[in-house]
Amino acid sequence: MKLALLWIAALLPAQEILVAPNQSVWVTEAMKAARNLNESTQRAPKDMLTYAETSKWQETGPYEETLAVYLKLAAASPYARMIDIGATPQGRRMYLFVASKDKAFDAATARKTGKPVVFFQNAIHPGENGGKDAAVMLLRDILVTKKYESLLDNAIILSLPVFNIDGHENRSPYHRINEQGPREMGFRVTAQRYNLNRDFMKADSPEMQNWLKAFNKWNPDLLIDNHVTDGQDQQADTTIVIHDGIDVHPAVAGWVGREWLLKLWSGMEAEGHVMGWYLGGPVRPGQPLTMLPMAPRFTNGYVATRNRASLLVETHSLKPFAVRAWAHYDVMLETLKVVATAGKQLRAATEQADREVLTPGQKLALDYAPAKEGEPYTLRLLETETYQGAALGGPVLRYLPKPRNLEVTLIRKAVPKTEVVIPKGYYVPREYSNVLDLLKLHGVRVQPVSGAVEAEVEVTKFQKVSFPGQPFEGRFQPNFETTVERRKMTFTAGYFFVPVTQPQGKVAMHLLEANAPDSVVKWGSLNGIFEQKEYASDYIFEPLAEKMLAQDAKLKAEFEAALEKDAALKGNPRARLLWLYQRSPFYERDKDVYPVYRALP
Ligand SMILES: [Zn+2]
């Protein structure tokens, strides 16, 4: 079988297997011209062109090339520097590129300038090409050709050249079947097979740990995360998700909606881009489309949880590589133009968010549902037809170069789904150092308890615990229900208190609230609490069980009622033993009990 396949591959012309056949049938004249991108190439010094440009957007360079171009920018301009932020699992160095007219190349100096810090994040999914090359070109136009020099007057720019570097170097022509070039591309996950865009909260990967340390230092005011989408063909070359709702501090959400979103959208359309919202899921006639805030495991959800402005850019995989790079270039350019005029207000908003910490006793949403009211939205699709697929043996979709606009209702507004009363904070025992270390990695302040502190707390217990058969991102994530008990407890040395009244209070709550989608317990960091460690033999337990039932009439009545209700229990001696054992003094008291205590306001 293997030999036969090799023989077929040898007969095919190389190009035919290298290039995915499904290019977009809709590329406008403006897209073909890719004005700002091509003008950037024309004005660049020859020795500062990228592989992508010299190959006419057929290839993208390896990490070494990306670093070389960034180093050339840093050498050519007094306003730029590369900062080493750590190593990848395969030993490559991660760098953050800093551009600042005040030469504020460290976070503390940057803060003193009072200018907003803008963060371009590239290649978290290295197979998704466009952002990495566009970021270099835009920085070249700010620092070297000086076409957009003035954009550095009111902002400090950080660029992460490549986030998932090991994945970027894992190159193949076969990593993204939809993506129209470059010829070879990196892979979605890291060398340890982590998808970094699920790792922001649990931070298993060394890359994410390095990122968090850098992010804590710089605390950027605005972040753009550059991706490439898949899915259906459509008119839009640029789709976005922006956080301007209830998951961000209102001052920041207000700035995003008022200043950034409207100007970005109209600026992009004025350049000839076809803009759209990044929507998942099928269109169902008569039903509104919805967009909900992303959970903090994702870049944008995480940045929003830290009350920073954030944008997810998804350029379309079926548009040519150059069109995608043009879209990334213009999104970053238009954003910097907004920051140039409204950067002071952005900075004021993020500072306000850091000052106005959570208030114990009020409520916080852990996840979201769509609001009732929507807005009219034009989906810019393409006409389709179907044909009979010889290989798949069924009808297959074919896109036609004919725009089809569909008027729909889009609900972008969210309301809380799961809400909790904000506690004063949480008590965590020292033995769960994995939890304490993770909190610190996220910039959350934890205080050791000294003396004896008496506190009214809520103790969370887990019921109906089950585990999936498959891991997700290297973890086994428990499903459970919870109940809560109020207790007065005394905490002594060995416990740590995590106050929520601090700038990273919301991150602390998302990590420590058992029912938050990205909590430590939901990610499986505390799976030991769900295991029973001691057992009773029937020959030992039977006489004790009889004594328990004889001594406790209430227990006896409950047992009989349970047997009556549940035939499986009644007919199973092991299950009957477990039922009684769980109610005996021999049972493990800390099983299924959350070792994190909520201090009541
Ligand atoms: Zn992606």
- Please say whether the beta carbons of 398 and 387 come within 8 A: yes
Mean pLDDT of 151-168: 98
How many whole angstroms from 239 Cα to the centroid of ligand 1? Answer: 12
Per-residue pLDDT at 14 exceeds 50: no
Q: How far is the CA of 230 from the centre of ligand 1 (A)?
A: 9
Predicted pLDDT at 19: 58
What is the distance between the alpha carbons of residues 229 and 218, in angstroms, rounded to a whole number? 29
Question: For residue 230, what pLDDT band results from cuts at 50, 70 and 90?
Answer: confident
The rounded Å distance from CA 258 to ligand 1 centre is 27
Q: What is the pLDDT of residue 21?
A: 61
Residue 225 CA, ligand 1 centroid: distance in Å: 9
Q: In whole angstroms, give the CA distance from residue 313 to residue 133.
A: 15
Q: If you average pLDDT over residues 562-568, what whole number do you get?
A: 96
Is beta strand 309-316 parallel, antiparallel or unpaired with respect to 222-229? parallel
Q: Residue 193 Cα, ligand 1 centroid: separation in angstroms?
A: 15
Q: Is 470 helix (H, G, I), strand (E, B) or coil?
A: coil
Dist. CA 278–CA 298, nearest whole Å? 15
- pLDDT given at position 58: 94
At residue 231, the pLDDT reads: 83
Residue 81 DSSP symbol = E
* Cα of 87 from ligand 1 centre, angstroms: 22
Exposure string over 214-242, b if 16+ CB within 10 A, otherwise e: bbbbbbbbbbbbbbbbeeebbbbbbbbbb
Contact by Cβ (8 Å): 157, 73: no
Picking from 30, 64, 69, the residue whose alpha carbon sits closest to that of residue 48 is 69
Tokens representing residue 3 in the block: 């030999």
Distance 397 CA to ligand 1 centre (A): 24
CA 19 to centroid of ligand 1, rounded, Å: 20
Question: What is the residue-averaged pLDDT of the chain?
Answer: 95
Instruction: Check if the beta carbon of residue 57 is closer than 8 Å to that of residue 352.
Output: no
**How far is the centre of ligand 1, averaged over its atoms, from the C-alpha of 247 (Å)?**
21
The alpha carbon of 313 and the centre of ligand 1 are apart by a number of angstroms equal to 9
- Cα–ligand 1 centroid distance for 177 (angstroms): 14
- pTM of this structure: 0.94
Q: How far is CA 356 from CA 242, 245, 253, in A?
A: 22, 17, 14
Average pLDDT over residues 81-90: 98
Which of 59-73, 188-202, 276-290, 455-469 shows the lowest mean pLDDT across its residues?
276-290
Rounded to the nearest angstrom, the distance between the alpha carbon of 147 and the centre of ligand 1 is 30
Q: What average pLDDT score do residues 201-223 get?
A: 98
Residue 219: pLDDT above 60? Answer: yes
Distance 581 CA to ligand 1 centre (A): 50
Q: pLDDT category, 25, cuts 50, 70, 90?
A: confident
What is the rounded CA–CA span in Å between residue 276 and residue 386?
25
Q: How many angstroms from the chain centroid is the CA of residue 369?
A: 18
For residue 281, is pLDDT > 80? no
- Provide the β-strand partners of residue 411: 290
pLDDT surpassing 80 at residue 16: no
CA of 124 to the centre of ligand 1 (A): 7
Low-confidence winner among 8-22, 400-414, 527-541 (lowest mean pLDDT):
8-22
Predicted confidence at residue 139, as pLDDT, reads 98
Q: 408 C-alpha vs ligand 1 centroid, how far in Å?
A: 26
Residue partners of 332: CB distance under 8 A and separation at least 6:
120, 134, 135, 138, 224
Centre of ligand 1 to C-alpha 23, Å, is 19
Does the pLDDT of residue 108 top 50, yes or no?
Answer: yes
pLDDT at 6: 43
**Span 306-359, pLDDT tens digits:** 999 999 999 999 999 999 999 999 999 999 999 999 999 999 999 999 999 999
Q: Distance from the CA of 427 to the center of ligand 1, in angstroms?
A: 37
Q: How far is the CA of 123 from the centre of ligand 1 (A)?
A: 8
Reply yes or no on whether the pLDDT at 3 is more than 60: no
Q: If pLDDT is split at 50, 70 and 90, which confidence band does 178 have?
A: confident
User: Distance from the CA of 128 to the center of ligand 1, in angstroms?
Assistant: 6
**For residue 242, is it left (φ>0), alpha (ψ between -120 and 50) or beta?**
beta
Task: Report d(CA 515, CA 526) in Å as an integer.
Answer: 14
Strands 275-277 and 238-242, sheet pairing = parallel
Which candidate, 104, 102, 79, 116, places its Cα nearest to that of 338?
Answer: 116
pLDDT, one tens digit per residue, over 190-199 is: 999 999 999 9
User: How many percent of the chain have pLDDT more than 90?
Assistant: 92
For range 544-559, the mean pLDDT:
96
- Strand 395-411's sheet: what is its strand order? 289-290, 395-411, 375-388
Question: What is the model's pLDDT at position 5?
Answer: 42
Please compute the mean of the pLDDT values over residues 129-140 and round it to a whole number.
98
Q: Are 238 and 274 in contact (CB under 8 A)?
A: yes
Taking the centre of ligand 1 as the mean of its atom positions, its distance from the CA of residue 172, in whole angstroms, is 17
Q: Cα of 418 to ligand 1 centre, how many Å?
A: 27
Residue 70 has pLDDT above 80, yes or no: yes
Percent of the chain with pLDDT over 70: 97
Q: How big is the CA angle at 462 (ends 457 and 468), to the nearest 5 degrees?
A: 145
Binned at pLDDT 50, 70 and 90, residue 283 comes out as confident
pLDDT of amino acid 280? 77
Distance between Cα 186 and ligand 1 center (Å): 12
Report how far ligand 1's centroid is from the alpha carbon of 59 (Å).
19
> Based on the number of CB atoms within 10 Å of its own CB, is 488 exposed (0-12), middle (13-18) or buried (19 or more)?
exposed
Arithmetic mean of pLDDT, 500-508: 98
